[in-house]
Amino acid sequence: MLQVNFLRDNKERVLEGLKKRQFKNLELVDEAIILDQTRRGNQVELDNLNAEKNRISKEIGILISSGKHDEVASVKSKISEFADRIKELEAEKPQVEKALLDILYKIPNIPYEKVKAGVSADDNEIIYQSHDVEGLGEGAIPHWELAKKYNLIDFELGVKIAGAGFPVYFGKGARLQRALVQYFLDKNTDAGYLEVNPPHVVNEASGYGTGQLPDKEGQMYYVNADDLYLIPTAEVPVTNLYRDVLLDERDLPIKNTAFSQCYRREAGSYGAHVRGLNRLHQFEKVEIVRIEKPENSYAVLEEMVEHIKGILEDLELPYRVLRLCGGDTGFASAMTYDFEVWSAAQEKWLEVSSVSNFETFQANRLKCRYKADGKSQLVHTLNGSAMALPRIMAALLENNQTEEGIKLPKKIAEYARFELIN
């Protein structure tokens, strides 16, 4: 959430940034500023009235002790008028604050200066590509057919149990999933990330804290009886560990990693692009989260990009890195890099990771600050997928198919304890 004083002091910059991300409701900026003016004006009036009421109240005792009883009634009448107005202002205060907060929740983060304007994914910049890519040629089998051929994943059985988008993994398919999770966690902890095992459900405050609510409410599974949400990513519970926390400068940086199941309704998703593992309602993912001093966050973002690249190099998959344009950047992010791997049988790129810097946007909602030299200020939060499993699995199966079977990359074979799926 952008701070209202930032909107007020940097209005033109905010409007230009929102235009860069194709945000249409620019009038919300003025509405927020006006409501803030009302809020601050009411507070000044309230403070003045309380001060005047206290001053006059003291006069009553002086008047009584001086025998000026005829003037006491007049002074008490003034106090009564002040009390009525104070009551009105105190009643209005939470209403104005809620109205202001509701508007601020609707305004996305403004993009970092390096982010280019653009409308959709077609306008994203390709920053790096590891290999020239090509298809496997005639006879290449997509992963959903490979999964069936080798009894790795049963999509129809998942439909029977829960519905589309909830696959069941068997045998070497299940073992490969487990091996990938362990490898990703080891890779992250070796890089200094502290492993966390968080809850897989969160309350409303946590959803608002990281920006999933209200922006993505329709994409989250809601447990009505308990007023809880199934997590769309471990980013949500892990980042909320630091909600309402005042950190010491010595606590920073904070580096966490977590494995979790992820649940996304993906409302409206249909067609060939969601077939097999391309898009699921439940999937496994390993996340990395950083809490940083503001001056370090963009160097850290590049460090995280290099970390993800190292993972994909170990997986021996062709990949590319994109910097998202304004129109494709997530609601809470100031800048995001996407990682895509080449799916040789489908002959298309599949997104497997996003790494984002939220600057103070999440921290302001979370009220997460750090103290240095006697002053407190908001931290910067960052997170990235390291990695999401479904499309990694799809690319591993498709890109490594041979006449003998599917040959795993050396690093993953060490974790899985088998080299060939046949």
Q: Per-residue confidence at 67, pLDDT binned at 50, 70, 90? A: low
Q: Per-residue confidence at 268, pLDDT binned at 50, 70, 90? A: low
Mean predicted lDDT score pLDDT of the chain: 93
Q: Which helix (H) or strand (E) holds 376?
A: strand 375-378
Domain ranges, ordered by start, for the chain: 4-104, 121-421
Kindly state the percentage of the chain with pLDDT values over 70: 94
Query: What is the 3 state secondary structure string of 47-89?
Result: HHHHHHHHHHHHHHHHHHHCCCHHHHHHHHHHHHHHHHHHHHH
CB 339 within 8 A of CB 129: no
CATH fourth-level superfamily of 4-104: Serine-tRNA synthetase, tRNA binding domain (1.10.287.40)
pLDDT at 250 over 80: yes
Q: Which amino acid, one-letter code, is at 250?
A: R
4-104 and 121-421 have identical folds:
no
CATH topology for 121-421? BirA Bifunctional Protein; domain 2 (3.30.930)
pLDDT of amino acid 65: 67
For the CA atoms of 354, 355, 357, 358, the dihedral, rounded to the nearest 10 degrees, stands at 40
Q: Per-residue confidence at 55, pLDDT binned at 50, 70, 90? A: confident
Question: Nearest 5°: CA angle at 306, between 250 and 237?
Answer: 55
pTM: 0.91
Contacts of 213 (CB under 8 A, 6+ apart): 204, 207, 220, 229
